[in-house]
Amino acid sequence: MIWDNVNPLFYEGIDAIYETNSIDELPPIIVDLYDKDESIVGADKEDFLSRALIYVQNVDHSDNDTIPKPSWYTLYYRKGGPPSGEVLLSFAVVKDDFSFKRSLARLEMEK
């Protein structure tokens, strides 16, 4: 949790398993960002901030045990609306039986 910050930074590795025959068949990755204010009335409600729709076929990605340099992806509050921010992400697309030399939990992600 990051307190009192309008530009939070999260360093997180996520494993997502998609079943497909080829990278061209992968569905887009949807990144939704939410905010939760715990010090005000209605604290249990999460507020939608923005969304990025990312087609893996159109981005730089690796297909081995290297994690590529992250790229910025534009966030939007609603379809067809103006940009509302950016999110920094990188992608590695590997076979289901692939094992990274370093686990995602052990990646050294720095500022």
pTM for this prediction: 0.66
Instruction: Give the domain extent around 55.
Output: 23-98
Within-domain flag for 3:
no
Within-domain flag for 1:
no
Within-domain flag for 60:
yes
Within-domain flag for 78:
yes
Tokens 């966030």: give the residue.
75
Distances (CA, A) of 32 to 44, 92, 107: 18, 20, 23
Q: How many domains does the chain have?
A: 1
Give the whole-angstrom CA distance, residue 100 versus residue 35.
32
Within-domain flag for 17:
no
Within-domain flag for 27:
yes
Within-domain flag for 9:
no
Token pair listed for 92: 């590695």
Per-residue pLDDT of the chain (111 residues; tens, 9 = 90+): 555 666 666 677 777 777 777 778 888 889 998 877 666 665 667 888 899 999 888 887 777 667 778 889 999 999 899 998 888 888 777 766 555 555 555 555 544
- The answer for residues whose C-beta is within 8 angstroms of residue 69's C-beta and 6 or more apart is 60, 90
Terminal Cα-to-Cα distance of the chain (whole angstroms): 17
